[in-house]
Amino acid sequence: MQYDAVVIGVSAGGMNAMKIIFSLLPKDFGTPIIIVQHISPRSDNQWIDLLNDKSNLTIKEADEKEKIEKGTVYIAPANYHLLIEMNKTFSLTIDERVNFARPSIDILFESAAEAYKNKLIGVVLTGSNHDGAKGIKRIKECGGLVIIQDPKTAESAYMPTSAIAAVKPDYILSLEEITDLLIKIDKQKD
């Protein structure tokens, strides 16, 4: 099975988790990655630049109407929901918060599941909110692959635990194991 995109939902503890993942992913990692990290509405995007400096991949904020490209990591801007259109471009909205969050993981995941169907990998990482549980269920229903961080290894176990309660995951792994698995799957494409 080949996958065309990875979506990741992460909340409390996410900064450390992403540092680990993006220091390990190699330069030739091709599958686009799209991330919702819960963050203060007033946050600027400097942390994205810092993450980008430490990574082999291009990490950037997602722009509205931007086309999703290989080898690129996109992060939802603070205070906007991020959606994926059927033509694999981004839309941004300022709709009501979902699960107290904007951006909301569920909104990204549900739209990504529609757009990528069984070509999607959904990943839920550390967090202290149940956002993402509904969305990861939708990804599974559409035939996507579901990976959830092992709650025992998560800085905050609530979010991965909620996701596991909502759906039977294909994998429950530590951050390092998740990264290894993503690299393995990405290599199968060639």
Partner 1 sequence: MQSHLAAIVEAIYQKYGYDFRQYSEAHIKRRIMNRMAMSGLEDVSQMPSKILNDEAFASRLLQDLSITVTEMFRDPGFYRSLRENVIPILKTYPFIKIWHAGCSTGEEAYSMAIIMQEEGLYDRTTIYATDFNQRALNSAKEGIFSNKLMKEYTANYQLSGGKESFSDYYTSNYDHVIMNQSLKKNIVWANHNLVTDSVFAEVHLILCRNVLIYFERELQNKTQKLFYDSLINGGILCLGAKEGLHFTDLYEKYFELDKKQRIFKKKY
Which of the residues are catalytic? 11, 38, 131
Answer for which of 21, 110, 137, 169 binds partner 1 (CB under 8 A) is 110
For residue 114, state whether it binds partner 1 (rule: CB under 8 A): yes
The nearest distance, CB 50 to partner 1, in angstroms, is 18
Give the Cα separation of 4 and 16 in Å (integer): 26
For residue 91, state whether it binds partner 1 (rule: CB under 8 A): yes
User: Which residue, chain included where needed, has tokens 């991330």?
Assistant: 35
For residue 4, state whether it binds partner 1 (rule: CB under 8 A): no
Q: What contacts 169, CB < 8 A, 6 or more positions away?
A: 136, 146, 147, 148, 163
Name the residue nearer to partner 1 (CB basis): 91 or 174.
91
For residue 141, state whether it binds partner 1 (rule: CB under 8 A): no
Structural contact between residues 154 and 125, judged by C-beta atoms closer than 8 angstroms: yes
Can you count the helices (H) and strands (E) in the chain? 6, 9
Answer for which of 77, 103, 127, 135 binds partner 1 (CB under 8 A) is 77
User: Which residue, chain included where needed, has tokens 């990482």?
Assistant: 125
Encoded tokens for 125:
């990482």
x/- track of binding to partner 1 for residues 44-73 (CB under 8 A): -------------------xxx--------
**Residues touching partner 1: how many (CB under 8 A)?**
21
Is it true that the peptide bond before 103 is cis, omega within 30 degrees of 0? yes
Encoded tokens for 23:
């220091």
Answer for which of 33, 84, 121, 163 binds partner 1 (CB under 8 A) is 84
Encoded tokens for 64:
């509205």
DSSP helix/strand/coil, 143:
coil
For residue 86, state whether it binds partner 1 (rule: CB under 8 A): yes
For residue 93, state whether it binds partner 1 (rule: CB under 8 A): yes
User: Contact residues for partner 1 (CB under 8 A)?
Assistant: 63-65, 77, 79-80, 83-86, 91-96, 107, 110-111, 114-115
